[in-house]
Amino acid sequence: MGDFILFTHTKWSEAPRIRHQVANLLLEAGHRVFFFERPSPFWQSPAPAVEQARPGLTLVRTRNLFHHQLRALVPMHWLNAAFVESQIRRRLTVCDACADATIINFAHDYYFLRRLFAKSRIITIIHDDFEAQSRLPFASHIAWSLEHTCRMSSEVFAVSTPLQERLRVWCDPKLLLPWSVVPYRAPVPDMARRKLLVYWGFVDSAIDLNVVCRISDHLHEKRPDWRILLVGPTQGSGRQAVLDGVAGRANIEVRGRTELDELPLDEIIAALAPYRSSPACDSVTLANKSMQLFARGLPLLISNMPSYIQQPFIVRLDGTGGVGAAVDAVAANFLAWQSQIERFVADNAPATRLRLLGVEPAASAAGAVVGRL
């Protein structure tokens, strides 16, 4: 058993992403995790500052001076770094983390961590295109912090090939793709029941309603007994726009947040990822939730995301033949693709990602379900 200290810009209570998945991966392997959540503004005192969330998992809360997207000048970085560094030092005095703990950093702007952990192994995982998400009309301040963070790290990982290429100017990043948190489960081979296309994610402005409506029109004309189900919570705004955009379409239903296994899996022919074009989508190589869908034997229909991995069971809605050809492909190949999906899930198991991070999985955890995502 070892200790891992994770630095993030995420609350533990938020919808699970790769930060949570890595934490759960380590916990399941028998390690202790100290999860530093997204810092609060300096005028707020997070309470409790240190919280034992469950056995092995300690949540730690700090404050910062300036939001990481708004530090337009280098002196603002320096001031914020000094303040956050003092916050972290204070929290570490009340945590019982080992002095040789491994640091896993998800914050692109924590270039000062080497001052805190001079001899530790610091793994930085870049999981978003932070420059594309800049709230200012320029992103040089983000590039500055990203460069310094990469250069101070022992190892750097990126969650997509575009991010990996972007970071090569400063380091030699490795690719860290999501993994399957559950083993493959063969679907019921009753094709007569499979007439449902399901989107399982955030129901908001990221969805390309034009694509969804084209699928709806195609099904209405060619497969009138098929339906579309959009399932999930809203992140930010845009849910009402989705509801308005699909209003009056009898073959589309919108539901709130629902666990994947609570859906009628025996009726689903494929999962949907109908995203609109955006810088964030351009950098996606494999979405977190895709592996959970594959583990249930579901192929995936996607739009945009030009860097997405290529597999026979990942079909483009915006490819040659459009949505009609994509729907026909899953209808014709659902059962034939299962052996390939099963191999893909097995090749992307939790143990493979632990070893990539340089951590040997515990014997009791190698085949375990990792986390409850």
Q: What is the pLDDT of residue 360?
A: 72
| Phi and psi, residue 294, nearest 5° | -60, -35
User: How far lies 65's CA from each of 69, 86, 112, in Å?
Assistant: 12, 12, 15
Q: Confirm whether 370 is domain-assigned.
A: no
- Whether 60 and 98 share a structural domain: yes
Dist CA 113 CA 76 (whole Å): 17
State the number of CA atoms in the 13 A half-sphere of 79 facing the CB.
11
- Whether 50 and 171 share a structural domain: yes
- Whether 141 and 248 share a structural domain: no
Q: Confirm whether 108 is domain-assigned.
A: yes
- Whether 236 and 199 share a structural domain: yes
Dist CA 254 CA 204 (whole Å): 11
Rounded to two decimals, the pTM is 0.86
- If one counts the domains in the chain, the total is 2
Q: What is the pLDDT of residue 368?
A: 41
- Whether 161 and 206 share a structural domain: no
Dist CA 115 CA 117 (whole Å): 6
- Whether 143 and 119 share a structural domain: yes
- Whether 225 and 322 share a structural domain: yes
Q: Is the peptide bond before 48 cis (omega within 30 degrees of 0)?
A: yes
Per-residue pLDDT of the chain (373 residues; tens, 9 = 90+): 789 999 999 999 987 889 999 999 999 999 999 999 999 988 888 889 999 999 999 999 999 887 777 777 788 888 988 999 999 999 999 999 998 999 999 999 999 999 999 999 999 999 987 777 776 666 788 899 999 999 999 999 999 999 999 999 999 999 999 999 899 999 999 999 999 999 999 999 999 999 999 999 999 999 999 999 999 998 777 899 999 999 999 999 999 999 999 999 999 999 999 999 988 888 899 998 999 999 999 999 999 999 999 999 999 999 888 999 999 999 999 999 999 999 999 999 999 999 999 987 654 443 443 333 2
- Whether 223 and 244 share a structural domain: yes
Q: Confirm whether 185 is domain-assigned.
A: no
Q: What is the pLDDT of residue 101?
A: 95
Calculate the dihedral angle through the C-alpha atoms of 11, 15, 18, 24, rounding to the nearest 10 degrees. Answer: 80
CATH code: domain of residue 212: 3.40.50.2000
- Whether 149 and 204 share a structural domain: no
The domain of 281 spans 191-342
**String of b and e for 163-197 (b: at least 16 CB within 10 Å)?**
bbebbeebbebeebbbbbbbebeebeeeeeebbbb
Q: Confirm whether 365 is domain-assigned.
A: no
Q: Confirm whether 43 is domain-assigned.
A: yes
User: How far lies 287's CA from each of 228, 272, 319, 349, in Å?
Assistant: 20, 12, 19, 15
45: exposed, middle or buried (C-beta count within 10 Å: 0-12, 13-18, 19+)?
exposed
- Whether 41 and 126 share a structural domain: yes
Q: What is the pLDDT of residue 236?
A: 75
- Whether 296 and 152 share a structural domain: no
247: exposed, middle or buried (C-beta count within 10 Å: 0-12, 13-18, 19+)?
exposed
- Whether 271 and 295 share a structural domain: yes
Q: What is the pLDDT of residue 369?
A: 36
Strand partners, 52: 58
CB of 314 closer than 8 Å to CB of 300: yes
Q: Confirm whether 92 is domain-assigned.
A: yes
CB of 43 closer than 8 Å to CB of 72: no
Q: Confirm whether 363 is domain-assigned.
A: no
Q: Confirm whether 368 is domain-assigned.
A: no
